[in-house]
Structure 1
């Protein structure tokens, strides 16, 4: 898993830099490197944390 993904936990806000059109997302779960995120414009997506580095958003 990418190091920045190690800090993610449910409730945190993130963006996927590979898909900026998905908008802001909220982490639902992080289990065994699989990160489930509910994105505003893409819905619920399960992401492989070893392949995609999500960017935490601390201000919305």
Structure 2
């Protein structure tokens, strides 16, 4: 898991760098490098933090 993913906590807003059409997502959980995010346009997705570095969104 990248250092950036390690700081992600429930409630934080993120975007997926490879799927911008998913919109902004809200982190639901971050356990053992598996990050569950509820995206506006895609719904709930479990992401492997070792493969993808999510981008924090500070101003949606």
1:30 is aligned to 2:30: yes
CA offset at residue 49 of structure 1?
0.3
d(CA) in 2 for partners of 1:4, 1:18: 16
Unaligned stretches of 5+ residues in structure 2? none
CA offset at residue 2 of structure 1?
1.1
Give the TM-score of the pair, scaled to structure 1: 0.97
Where 1:37 maps in the other structure, the secondary structure is strand
Give the TM-score of the pair, scaled to structure 2: 0.97
Where 1:53 maps in the other structure, the secondary structure is coil
User: In the alignment, what sits opposite 1:43?
Assistant: 43
Matches within 5 A, 1:2-41: 2-41=2-41
RMSD: 0.4
What number of residue pairs does the alignment pair up? 60
